[in-house]
Amino acid sequence: MPERETENDLGGCEDGLPWSAPPALAEKPHGIRYGYVAMDAERRQPALHECQLEELEEKVSSGEALEVVVPEYKNLAPPSIVESLWPAVQKRERMRREKERQNAIFNVCLFGGITIYSIRSADRAWQIILMMFVLFGLVPLVQYLIGAVRRRLKGEETFAEMRERTLFAFWLGAGDVPATRWCVRGLIAVFAVQVLAPALASQNLIGAALQYLFVVSPASIEAGALVKPLVREGETWRLLTCGLLHGGLLHIGFNAMAFSAVGAVLERFYGRAILLLTFFLSVLGGSLASQLLMPDTTSLGASGGVLGLVGFLLVVGLRYRGALPADFAKSIIRSVLFMAAIGFLAKDYIDNAAHGGGFLVGCLIALPLVLHGNVHDLGRYAEGRWLRNCGWATIGVLSLTALWLVLRLLAASGVIAG
């Protein structure tokens, strides 16, 4: 079979989808017909091994081969896009799904037992523990079962579907997403101040730090949480500052992971300015919804902004569902349903109004972009000067707000003079 150049594959031309060309991996060494890249256990770095086709198939099926050398491609290639290795890839996927099943059952048993114990012992945090059971146990098991039912009804994933999904994942991972990265780092930095500032003012530094790592400190509430009566009295800035604070390690951990995942996709599709504007406006929209619909509660967290990113991607996924990988829109829908279920189970701890308001704002921001654009804009969206200026302004507002909030946290904790 003749070698084909990377840039001549599907979508490599101007009018193709940006993720339809094979990833630009390293060129394969001259003279090697078959080979694979695997992690060297001793050196703890990838190493290239020359082999015969039979050994290559064995390494692919076991999951050891990260990249492969085959005659079809000039460069190294992921095994999932090489049609001659499709039987080995299918075997690898069956082994992966079996491991997922075992892990899901183990997590259901582990977290289910902890949940039952917490309920029977009248632990006041039983709803949070139940949420962990759903998040780490029930959801993975349900996802596995949904996949099993889908395969039973529609058959196994085809090579074309796997190839498209693999190319899309490589394309997403190849792009730089600095806005997403720095937003997540900023949220984590503010949370670190939330934990350390009141701990520094305490006589028991380590004990206080461990306490505030899992329970929000009074200083955080005073400094910038969405305290509804104070907002009505004129402290409207809390509508924004509350989105930069979090209630504990589980809270910031979940939001940071969610922001990293959905933010990277949105930034890769439409650029950093639209990502920042969507997050900023979704935080405000979620806070306003909470202020109007839940007037007697105190709220904090970036969840409204994160749900805005999810809502944006849901609109994009539904509008371009014929061109995006088959499971893209479905994965977003599953995320929305999952958040709705978590909100119902832990309604005493989660501000569902903020979630819903942020989600709606994200959907509204995406609508004009998808109605007046096309799927080829994804990854190639041209930011005009006005939009770039809005992006820089948003960076400035969020950065200054975070800095001001850190100073308020230090003052509320008594570390510095108020």
Positions marked active-site: 303, 355
Asked if 224 contacts 246 with a C-beta cutoff of 8 angstroms, the reply is no
Instruction: In whole angstroms, give the CA distance from residue 221 to residue 393.
Output: 27
Asked if 285 contacts 358 with a C-beta cutoff of 8 angstroms, the reply is yes
DSSP H helical ranges for 225-376: 228-232, 238-241, 249-270, 272-293, 303-319, 328-345, 352-371
Percent helix, percent strand, percent coil in the chain, to nearest 5: 65, 5, 25
Edge-to-edge strand list for the sheet holding 35-40: 45-50, 35-40, 67-69
Residue 8 phi, psi dihedral angles, 5° rounding: -95, 0
Instruction: In whole angstroms, give the CA distance from residue 307 to residue 65.
Output: 36
Query: What is the residue type of 325?
Result: P
Instruction: In whole angstroms, give the CA distance from residue 285 to residue 289.
Output: 6
